[in-house]
Amino acid sequence: MSSEVRLKKLRGSGGYVMAKVTDEQQTKGNLGGPDLFLAPIGRLDAADISKHFCNTCEKEFEGAPNIEFENPNETVADNLVLAERGQYKCSCGSTIAEYREFKKQDETGEIGAAKPETPTQQETATQEIQQETAKVETATQPETATQPGPAVGIGAIEGRDVIDENANKIGIAKRVGIDSTQSMVLVIVKNDETEGSIPWESIRKVGGVILLGGSHTESGKCSECGFANKPGSKFCEECGSNIQ
C-alpha cells in the first residue's frame, strides 16, 4: 500500500478537520461511504491539521483544534485494554469529535469475558435486561418496524462501547429494539453516526463494554461489511451482500 500523504476532510459529530493522512489512516476512516471520519483514526498529530470547523460556532478556523486525551490502560475484558480516549475540541468548548483506541494485550489471543462491574451495577444491568427480554417474549402485539426497530429503553447499557471479536469499536449502544421479524436487537450508533442494529443473540457479554462474537455470529457474519446477521441468513441485512 502506498504511504503517500494526502489532505482530507475528516468528519466528527460536531464538525470536521482538514488534515494530512496516510493511506492506512484513510482506510481506517472510511466506513463504507464517501466521507472519512475522525473517530476510527484516533489521535492525529496537530501539525498535520491545517483547518477545523465547529458546528456550534458555524465557522472554520486555521490550524488544529485542542486535542485532549488520556491513557487509562483500563482492562475492559480479558485480553482487551482501553489504551486511549480523547476529544478534538473547539476553543468555544464544543466537541468536534471523540475517539477511543482499544488494544489486545496478546495480539494472537482472543477476547474473553468482559470485566465485571461492581455487584450493584451488574445486578441492575442483569435484572433490566431480563425484564426487557421477558417483555419481548410475552408481548402479544409488538410493534412492527424495519431495523433498527422501535425503542425499548435499557438505561443500564446505553452509551456503552460495542466491540467486535477483533477488538474494533463498531459503535455505541443506544437502546434495545424489535426488528421486523419481532426479534430482539441492540440498536447502536455506528462510527459513521448512523444507526444500525445487532441481533441480541450475537452479544457475547455485557459488562464495562458490550462484546460481540462467538460461534453464533460467525455463520451470519457479512464478509463485506462485518455486520452480524442472524444464523442462516442468505443476505446481509445491513448492506444486502450474499453471505452464503
Q: Which residue has the higher pLDDT, 215 or 157?
A: 157
Residues 99 and 130 in one domain: no
Q: Supply the Cα-derived Rg of the chain in whole angstroms.
A: 19
Q: Is residue 21 domain-resident?
A: yes
Percentage with pLDDT > 70 across the chain: 71
Q: Is residue 225 domain-resident?
A: no
Q: Is the pLDDT of residue 111 over 50?
A: yes
Amino acid at 57: C
Q: 220 falls in which pLDDT band (50, 70, 90)?
A: low
Residues 22 and 66 in one domain: yes
Quickly count helices (H) and strands (E) in the chain: 3, 16
Domain's final residue, options 47, 77, 103:
103
For residue 25 the three cell numbers come to 489512516
Concatenated DSSP letters for 113-160?
A: PBPP--HHHHHHHHHHHHHHHHHHHH-SSPPP-STT-SEE--TTTTT-
Residues 211 and 144 in one domain: yes
Residues 139 and 202 in one domain: yes
Residues 98 and 123 in one domain: no
Identify the pLDDT of residue 107: 82
Domain tally for the chain? Answer: 2
Domain's final residue, options 103, 132, 152:
103
Identify the pLDDT of residue 115: 59
Q: Is residue 236 domain-resident?
A: no
Q: Please tell me the distance from the alpha carbon of residue 64 to that of residue 19, in angstroms, as a whole number.
A: 9
Backbone phi, psi, residue 162, to 5°: -105, 120
Q: Is residue 36 domain-resident?
A: yes
Q: Is residue 110 domain-resident?
A: no
Domain's final residue, options 58, 79, 103:
103
Residues 147 and 58 in one domain: no
Residues 123 and 214 in one domain: yes
Residues 58 and 126 in one domain: no
Boundaries of domain holding 59: 6-103
Alpha-carbon dihedral angle through residues 225, 227, 231, 234, given to the nearest 10 degrees = -40
Distance of CA 47 to the CA centre of its chain: 27
pLDDT, mean of residues 51-59: 95
Identify the pLDDT of residue 65: 97
Residues 62 and 152 in one domain: no
Q: pLDDT tens-digit profile of 143-197?
A: 433 333 333 334 567 888 888 877 888 888 888 877 776 677 888 988 888 888 8
Q: Is residue 147 domain-resident?
A: yes
Q: Is residue 232 domain-resident?
A: no
Q: Is residue 210 domain-resident?
A: yes
Identify the pLDDT of residue 152: 35
For residue 30 the three cell numbers come to 472510511
Q: 123 falls in which pLDDT band (50, 70, 90)?
A: low
Residues 91 and 10 in one domain: yes
Residues 134 and 80 in one domain: no
The model's pTM: 0.54
CATH number at residue 139: 2.30.30.240
Residues 193 and 145 in one domain: yes
